[in-house]
Amino acid sequence: MPTSRRTFAAFVTPMVIFLGLLALGSALESSGAASFWLRSTKYWIFPTQTIVCGLAVLWFWREYQMRRPERLGFGLAIGLLVFVLWIAPQAFFGAAARTDGFDPNVFAAQPVAYWATVILRFIRLVVVVPLVEEIFWRGFLLRFLIREDFTDVPFGTFSWLSFVVVTLAFGFSHLRADWAAALLTGALYNLVAYRTKSLSTCVITHALTNLLLGLWIMKTGEWGFW
Q: pLDDT of 151-202, one tens digit each?
A: 999 999 999 999 999 999 999 999 898 999 999 999 999 999 999 999 999 9
d(C-alpha 116, C-alpha 106), whole Å: 13
Residue 31 pLDDT: 77
Residues 1-46 pLDDT 10s: 678 999 999 999 999 999 999 999 988 888 777 787 787 888 999 9
Count of alpha carbons within 13 Å of 83, Cβ hemisphere only? 20
pLDDT score of 226 more than 90: no
Q: By the 8 A CB rule, do 141 and 164 touch?
A: no
Mean model confidence pLDDT for the chain:
94
pLDDT recorded at residue 182: 96
pLDDT of residue 1: 64
Q: How far apart are CA 46 and CA 209, in angstroms?
A: 19
CA distance 132 to 202: 11
Contact residues for 77 (Cβ-Cβ < 8 A; gap 6+): none
pLDDT of 22 reads 94
**pLDDT tens figures, 83-142:** 999 999 999 988 888 988 889 998 989 999 999 999 999 999 999 999 999 999 999 999
User: Exposed, middle or buried, 196 (CB in 10 Å: 0-12/13-18/19+)?
Assistant: buried
pTM of the model: 0.94
Domain locations in the chain as residue ranges? 67-225
